[in-house]
Amino acid sequence: MRGASASSERTGRHAPEAEESIVFLDRETIPWQTVLRRPSFPHRWTEHPRTAPGEVEDRCRDATIVIVNKVKMTADAIARMPRLRFVAVAATGTDPVDVKACAERGVVVSNIRNYAVNTVPEHTFALLLALRRSVLAYQRAVEAGAWQRASQFCFFDYPIHDLAGSTLGIIGEGTIGQAVAALGRAFGMRTLYAAHKGVSGLGPLYTPFEEVLETSDVITLHCPLLPSTRNLIAAAEFARMKRRPLLINTARGGLVNEEDLGVALRQGQIAGAAFDVATVEPPSMDDPLMRLVDLPNFILTPHVAWASAEAIQTLADQLIDNIEAFHAGRPQNVVH
C-alpha cells in the first residue's frame, strides 16, 4: 500500500521462468507521482516501498534484475542471489552496491547520468542567493516583528552582498560543476575550477586547491565522495579561507568535516554555509549539522537538490531505458 511500512507488491500476470524477474527494493525513493513505466519486454515486477538490510537476500533470491537507490547490496547478499544478472541503480552514486562483487559474478551494474544538470545547479544558486542576501535571516526577523519595531521603512540587521564581481570557487569539474560555473558567469562572477587536492599539473583550466580556498568568496562542492575526498574540507582548510567565503555543499555528505564546520561558522572563519547533504541521512537531532540550524547564516535542506519534478522524471525514464538496454544485450551507463 502506498506509504505503508510493510512491503507492497505490484505483480503482473504469472511469468514463466524465461521472463525477467525485476525487484525494486526502495520504490519510495522516487515520488509516487512520477511516472515509472514498465519495461517493454515480458517480466515479473515486484516493488517494495523500502527494504531493511536483513530483508535484501530474501526479497532478491529469485531476481534477475534488481533496482536499488540507497539500499546496500553487499558482497554476501549478492552471492546469495543465484539468478541476478543486472543491478539498475536509480541514482548516479553507486556507493550502496558492491560493484567489485558484481563484476566477479558477471553481474552488470548501470547508473543514472546527467539527469540533474539543471536541478542541482539551480538549488545551489537558491542556497547561495539566500545566504548572500540574508533572505532567511530577514524572513525570521520579520516573523519576529522586527519590521514593526523599525524606526523607518526598512532595517539593516544582516549583510546583503551582490554576486556580481565576486569569485566562485568550484570543487568538481564535471557536468554539474560546469553548469554551476555557467550560472556564476551569468551573474557576473569570476569562476575558478579547483585542482584536485594534493595534485598538480592538471593544466591551465585549474587553479591550485589552496588558492581557491584563499581567494574565493563562495566555495561550492560538486565532487564524489571517495576515500581521497572524505573530509576534503576540515579545520586546516577553513583556516586558509582568508575571504570568509560562503560554503555550499549539494554534492555528498562526508566531504566536509561537520564538527569543524560548526567551529568555523561560530568563530567567523566563513560567512555562512548551506548544505543539502549530511554524512548520516536522515541526521539525528544531535547531528553536527542539526546543531547549526538556529544560526542565521546556515541553511540545511533535506537532500532535495536533485529532486525537481523534471529531473526525477528524467531519472525514472533513464532507469527503465537502462533496464531495456540490458535486456536487449546493449547495456548502457555501465559502472566498472
DSSP of 160-212, one letter per residue?
---STT-EEEEE--SHHHHHHHHHHHHTT-EEEEEPPTT-----TTEE-HHHH
Q: Which three cell numbers stand for residue 75?
A: 558482497
User: What pLDDT, on the 0 to 100 scale, is given for residue 257?
Assistant: 98
20-113+310-327 and 119-300, same CATH topology:
yes
* CA dist., res. 32 & res. 47, Å (int): 12
User: What pLDDT, on the 0 to 100 scale, is given for residue 151?
Assistant: 87
Is residue 169 within 8 A of residue 184, CB to CB? The reply is no
CA-nearest of 72, 37, 36, 78 to 53 is 72
What is the reported pTM? Answer: 0.85
Answer whether the bond into residue 331 is a cis peptide, omega within 30°: no
Q: Which three cell numbers stand for residue 181?
A: 560555473
- Determine whether domain 20-113+310-327 maps to CATH 3.40.50.300: no
User: What pLDDT, on the 0 to 100 scale, is given for residue 6?
Assistant: 35
User: Any idea which residues carry the catalytic annotation?
Assistant: 252, 281, 303
Q: Which residues of the chain have pLDDT under 70?
A: 1-18
* CA dist., res. 252 & res. 258, Å (int): 12
DSSP of 22-64, one letter per residue?
EEES-GGGS-TTS--PPPSS-EEEEE-S---GGGHHHHTTT-S
Answer CATH for 119-300 from 3.90.1010.10, 3.40.50.720, 3.30.56.10, 3.20.20.70: 3.40.50.720
Spell out the domain ranges in the chain: 20-113+310-327, 119-300
User: What pLDDT, on the 0 to 100 scale, is given for residue 201?
Assistant: 74
User: What pLDDT, on the 0 to 100 scale, is given for residue 18?
Assistant: 62
Residue 191 pairs in a beta bridge with: 168
Q: At what angle do helices 119-132 and 175-186 cross, to 10 degrees?
A: 40
